[in-house]
Copies of this chain bind each other. A is one copy, B any other.
């Protein structure tokens, strides 16, 4: 069988940075090997930089971004806690499900899909919640929410923990967890960080850790136990075995983060911004309508309305089969009426913009 190369311009995974692939293919190290522990330590340091945090408890969890969401809730939500969730897409909905399974009293604050989170409405939903949760970059709709404003509102209103999904924002757009008052954050590797899916970059500050559930319902994601392995106490001595870390994936993340930080975070953000703007202008030049208002669009993930009379799935199939170009369908009620085009990590570049616009124009006959 020939090996296929796809251009992954959907909502993720994206094509990995070459450094990430090289990291995957390196000879494997043992999970307690001093060389690997040094790689793990440096990975955590690099994650702190992309998160914009000084939190000592910043680490790659050994599962995908959705497990990061689960880790965030199981470690911070005590049974009966009030959890206010800003819902403006699929991942906000999922947060409600996950929080409810932790025994939370969930208060969803519903927003129209395609619009950003409204901090005032979120804060008004309950006088004293234990946790307020929101998604920074909604992968289902392509919307960016203002987490800085939400953080300010949450702090002004009380002492709730702010829990943020940064799966599709990390490594692609500005993210400043500490400055914005994010207490708990989780992300994924397969979007703007340009690594295969399989790890969940995670961060939790001292305030949230102090309030944590002492024996969470998940053993695998128990942050109290995980700290012993990632060397929370500092230094490389005395690591305790918890589970076997996914060493190849961590090595891959380590390499990709090195690449991102060498380019410079602000340059990486600028590269994503530029590619997204070029794509969005190009789509409009093709006469296509974007789903999200200009002010709230993500550069790394653009949602486009499928023109009337066009078979959404047929276009995606042609793009895949003729051009090896993957774009995403919409989600939920938008499954057939939206496309989602991602330019993430190494794909946030002019060649990707030109290719996806050209292939789409040819396929649509525009």
Residues of A within 8 A of B (CB): 3-6, 8, 10, 12-13, 15-16, 21, 24-31, 33-35, 62-67, 69-70, 94, 97-98, 101-102, 188, 190, 196-198, 215-220, 241-249, 320, 326, 331
Residues of chain B lying within 8 A (CB to CB) of residue A63: 62-64, 67, 220
Beyond A63-B63, A102-B217, A215-B101, whether A244 also contacts B197 by CB under 8 A is yes
Residues of chain B lying within 8 A (CB to CB) of residue A197: 31, 244-248
Would you give the shortest CB distance from A226 to chain B, in whole angstroms?
Answer: 11
The residue from B13, B31, B188 contacting A247, defined by CB atoms under 8 A apart:
B13
The residue from B13, B21, B249 contacting A25, defined by CB atoms under 8 A apart:
B21
Contact A94 B219 (CB under 8 A): yes
Contact B62 A246 (CB under 8 A): no
- Give the CA-CA distance A242 to B13 in the complex, in Å: 14
The residue from B24, B188, B220 contacting A244, defined by CB atoms under 8 A apart:
B188
- Give the CA-CA distance A35 to B190 in the complex, in Å: 18
Would you give the shortest CB distance from A194 to chain B, in whole angstroms?
Answer: 10
Residues of chain B lying within 8 A (CB to CB) of residue A246: 64, 196-198, 249
The residue from B10, B242, B245 contacting A30, defined by CB atoms under 8 A apart:
B10
Contact B66 A64 (CB under 8 A): no
Which of A12, A26, A216 counts the most chain B CB atoms within 10 A?
A26
- Give the CA-CA distance A243 to B69 in the complex, in Å: 11
Residues of chain B lying within 8 A (CB to CB) of residue A220: 63, 66-67, 69-70
- Give the CA-CA distance A115 to B251 in the complex, in Å: 37
Q: Across the two chains, which residue of chain B brings its CB closest to A29?
A: B6
Contact B33 A326 (CB under 8 A): yes
Beyond A217-B101, A220-B66, whether A248 also contacts B6 by CB under 8 A is no
Beyond A67-B63, A215-B101, A220-B70, whether A28 also contacts B15 by CB under 8 A is yes
12 contacts between A and B (CB under 8 A): A6-B28, A16-B28, A21-B25, A28-B196, A62-B64, A67-B67, A94-B219, A98-B219, A101-B215, A196-B248, A198-B246, A248-B249
Residues of chain B lying within 8 A (CB to CB) of residue A3: 26-27
What 6 pairs across the A-B complex have the smallest Cβ distances? A198-B246, A196-B248, A66-B243, A63-B63, A25-B25, A5-B27
